[in-house]
Protein backbone atom coordinates (compact mmCIF):
# COMPACT_ATOMS: atom_id res chain seq x y z
CA UNK A 1 0.00 0.00 0.00
CA UNK A 2 1.24 3.49 -0.85
CA UNK A 3 1.14 6.38 1.59
CA UNK A 4 0.99 9.74 -0.12
CA UNK A 5 3.22 12.53 1.11
CA UNK A 6 2.37 16.06 0.02
CA UNK A 7 2.98 18.47 2.93
CA UNK A 8 1.57 15.84 5.32
CA UNK A 9 0.50 12.21 5.42
CA UNK A 10 -2.85 11.59 3.81
CA UNK A 11 -5.37 8.86 4.38
CA UNK A 12 -5.69 6.54 1.43
CA UNK A 13 -8.38 4.05 0.52
CA UNK A 14 -7.92 0.85 -1.46
CA UNK A 15 -10.37 0.79 -4.39
CA UNK A 16 -9.32 -1.88 -6.98
CA UNK A 17 -11.98 -0.98 -9.57
CA UNK A 18 -11.72 -0.86 -13.34
CA UNK A 19 -11.78 2.69 -14.70
CA UNK A 20 -11.69 4.46 -18.04
CA UNK A 21 -8.54 6.48 -18.75
CA UNK A 22 -7.62 8.92 -21.48
CA UNK A 23 -3.90 8.62 -22.17
CA UNK A 24 -1.85 10.79 -24.52
CA UNK A 25 1.30 9.69 -26.30
CA UNK A 26 3.71 12.54 -27.07
CA UNK A 27 5.81 11.52 -30.08
CA UNK A 28 8.53 14.13 -29.53
CA UNK A 29 9.36 13.03 -25.98
CA UNK A 30 8.20 9.42 -26.24
CA UNK A 31 6.09 9.84 -23.11
CA UNK A 32 2.67 8.32 -22.58
CA UNK A 33 0.76 9.90 -19.71
CA UNK A 34 -2.79 9.57 -18.41
CA UNK A 35 -4.79 12.79 -18.83
CA UNK A 36 -8.28 11.93 -17.49
CA UNK A 37 -9.85 9.24 -15.31
CA UNK A 38 -13.53 8.32 -15.37
CA UNK A 39 -14.59 6.68 -12.11
CA UNK A 40 -18.09 6.13 -10.73
CA UNK A 41 -19.67 8.40 -13.32
CA UNK A 42 -17.32 11.36 -12.82
CA UNK A 43 -14.41 12.48 -14.96
CA UNK A 44 -11.27 13.74 -13.22
CA UNK A 45 -8.63 15.76 -15.07
CA UNK A 46 -5.10 14.79 -14.10
CA UNK A 47 -3.00 17.82 -13.26
CA UNK A 48 0.27 16.22 -12.13
CA UNK A 49 2.21 12.97 -12.41
CA UNK A 50 3.77 11.93 -9.11
CA UNK A 51 5.69 8.90 -10.35
CA UNK A 52 5.56 6.05 -12.83
CA UNK A 53 7.11 2.62 -12.39
CA UNK A 54 6.78 -0.97 -13.58
CA UNK A 55 5.69 -3.96 -11.51
CA UNK A 56 5.73 -7.64 -12.49
CA UNK A 57 3.03 -10.00 -11.26
CA UNK A 58 4.24 -13.34 -12.58
CA UNK A 59 4.40 -12.88 -16.36
CA UNK A 60 2.11 -9.84 -16.25
CA UNK A 61 3.67 -6.38 -16.50
CA UNK A 62 1.86 -3.43 -14.93
CA UNK A 63 2.55 0.26 -15.40
CA UNK A 64 1.80 2.06 -12.13
CA UNK A 65 1.03 5.78 -12.23
CA UNK A 66 0.57 8.00 -9.19
CA UNK A 67 -1.29 11.09 -10.35
CA UNK A 68 -3.07 14.08 -8.84
CA UNK A 69 -6.16 16.11 -9.71
CA UNK A 70 -6.92 19.41 -8.02
CA UNK A 71 -7.74 17.70 -4.70
CA UNK A 72 -7.45 13.92 -5.16
CA UNK A 73 -4.55 11.54 -5.61
CA UNK A 74 -4.91 8.31 -7.61
CA UNK A 75 -2.77 5.22 -8.00
CA UNK A 76 -3.57 3.75 -11.42
CA UNK A 77 -2.42 0.45 -12.89
CA UNK A 78 -2.29 -0.34 -16.61
CA UNK A 79 -2.21 -4.08 -17.36
CA UNK A 80 -0.06 -4.51 -20.48
CA UNK A 81 -1.66 -7.87 -21.37
CA UNK A 82 -5.28 -6.70 -21.38
CA UNK A 83 -4.74 -2.92 -21.68
CA UNK A 84 -7.26 -2.51 -18.85
CA UNK A 85 -6.89 0.22 -16.26
CA UNK A 86 -7.55 -0.23 -12.57
CA UNK A 87 -7.86 2.42 -9.89
CA UNK A 88 -5.93 0.81 -7.04
CA UNK A 89 -6.00 3.58 -4.44
CA UNK A 90 -7.35 7.04 -3.87
CA UNK A 91 -6.44 9.72 -1.33
CA UNK A 92 -8.05 13.04 -0.52
CA UNK A 93 -5.97 16.04 0.46
CA UNK A 94 -8.31 16.90 3.35
User: Which of 50 and 9 is assigned the larger pLDDT?
Assistant: 50
Cβ atoms within 10 Å, residue 2:
15
> What is the rounded distance in angstroms from the CA atom of residue 83 to the CA atom of residue 93?
29
| Per-residue pLDDT at 3 | 41
Angle CA 47–20–66, to nearest 5: 40
Q: pLDDT, tens digit, for every residue of 42-91?
A: 999 999 999 999 999 999 999 999 999 999 999 999 999 999 999 999 99
Q: What is the model's pLDDT at position 54?
A: 97
How much is the pLDDT for 6? 43
More confident residue, 38 or 93: 38
Please say if the pLDDT value at position 7 is more than 50: no
Amino acid sequence: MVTWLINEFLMNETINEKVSVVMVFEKDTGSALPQKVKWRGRTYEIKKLGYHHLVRQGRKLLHIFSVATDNLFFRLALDTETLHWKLEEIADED
